[in-house]
Amino acid sequence: MLSALEILAVIGVVLLVPLLYRLWNFIWLYFLRPSTAHKYLHAAPTYALITGASDGIGKALAKELYDQGFNLILHGRNEQKIRKVVEEVRRNGARDVLYFLADASDVNHDFERMMAPYMNLNITLVVHNVGNQGFTKERIDGFSNADVAGIVNRNAIFPLHLTHTLLPRLRLSAKTGPVLVQFMGSLASEISPPRFAIYGASKSFLKALARGLDTDEQVWTPTGVHFEYLVTGQVQSNSMRLTASLGTPTSETYAKAIVARMGCGWRKYCPFWVHAVQLWFSEVMGEGMQDKYAAGAIPELIALHEKKA
């Protein structure tokens, strides 16, 4: 018969083991694990396709992946802006940098035609980075139907159609090595803050899509195409005009974190360690505290961006 003290000790150990396991995973992922981005560089020339690459995280990621040895296919909506990025990137090497234009808020594109020039290229990495909502005090009924559709389209439906079109190409590329598709997620999908419900819901769509497609490509006949959902906290960028700090890395720092963690074996994770700590705290807080915190923080963010607009 165990004494009360022994029962408490057993309960303590049982509670401690998952925490220690999580701590070990944290240390391994962010501080010990070597980058394995090079495993997507097979059967050269190898291409990475990045959407929303004319600014912020997408632009920084384009530069980072080019430096790692990838050829690039960049997406933007403003030809002048994306051409400038192409020129900047090309200064660092002689590899290919291609681009295509599409307004992601509109999904009435002929995706097959849009991707046709790239279907013979060895694409091994796709980063669905395009997305945002914009800072406004409006509730959902303050948006027009077109605005609502635009938010959902550029955050969720555009990446869905692009993936649908690219998948046969990605399976071909996976015949010579692993292929990865990343969806840029947000902490907003974990806490769904006020005034960002449509954005948070669109990112949750990507989370479910990444999980479902990842298992789909592994069941019955594994194809070697993997999917990841990146939980992103605040990052200094064109749409997030904050001063960089420990919790708000620059887009360049964040791009390095994405490349360092890609293909780490987790399907949903934070590429940046401080965001992982923030996610853990928000889970411990529970919904009530999260909602209270967000209700205080979001008006400040909106006010700040209105001032900078």
Ligand X SMILES: NC(=O)c1ccc[n+]([C@@H]2O[C@H](COP(=O)([O-])OP(=O)(O)OC[C@H]3O[C@@H](n4cnc5c(N)ncnc54)[C@H](OP(=O)(O)O)[C@@H]3O)[C@@H](O)[C@H]2O)c1
Which residues are near ligand X by CB under 6 A? 52-58, 76-78, 81, 103-105, 129-132, 154, 184, 186, 232, 234-235, 237-240, 251
Closest distance to ligand X from the beta carbon of 24 (Å): 27
CB 224 within 8 A of CB 179: yes
- If the CB atoms of residues 78 and 92 are measured against ligand X, the closer one turns out to be 78
CA-to-CA separations, 232 to 236, 257, 274, in angstroms, rounded: 11, 11, 10
Which is closer to ligand X, CB of 58 or CB of 263? 58
Residue placing its CB nearer to ligand X in the complex, 79 or 138: 79
The strand pair at 46-50 and 268-269 is best described as: unpaired
Closest separation in Å from C-beta 138 to ligand X = 18
Strand-pairing partners, residue 229, are 183, 268
Q: In terms of CB distance, is 122 or 189 closer to ligand X?
A: 189
Residue 41 or 200 having the CB closest to ligand X: 200
Give the distance between the most distant pair of CA atoms in the chain. Answer: 77
Q: How far is the CB of 194 from ligand X (least distance, A)?
A: 16
Q: Which is nearer to ligand X, 84 or 95 (CB)?
A: 84
Q: What is the rounded CA–CA span in Å between residue 272 and residue 248?
A: 10
Q: Which is nearer to ligand X, 54 or 71 (CB)?
A: 54
Task: Please state the closest distance from residue 238 (CB atom) to ligand X, in A.
Answer: 3
Residues 6+ apart with CB under 8 A from 65: 37, 48, 50, 72, 125, 259
> In the structure encoding, which two tokens stand for residue 212, read together?
């479902």
Cα end-to-end span (Å), the chain: 69
Which of 21, 281 has the CB closer to ligand X? 281
User: Assign residue 44 a region: left if phi > 0, alpha if psi is -120 to 50, beta otherwise?
Assistant: beta
Three-state DSSP class for residue 150: helix
| Enclosing H/E stretch for 22 | helix 4-27
Phi, psi of 23 (to 5 degrees): -65, -45
Contact 191, 290 (CB under 8 A): yes
Could you tell me the two tokens for 34?
């070597």
- Min dist. Cβ of residue 32 to ligand X (A): 26
- State the minimum distance, in angstroms, from the CB of residue 280 to ligand X: 17
| Spatial contact of 51 and 125, defined as CB atoms under 8 Å apart | no
User: Shortest distance, CB of residue 197 to ligand X, whole angstroms?
Assistant: 14
| SS3 state at 78 | coil
CB of 11 to ligand X, least distance (A): 38
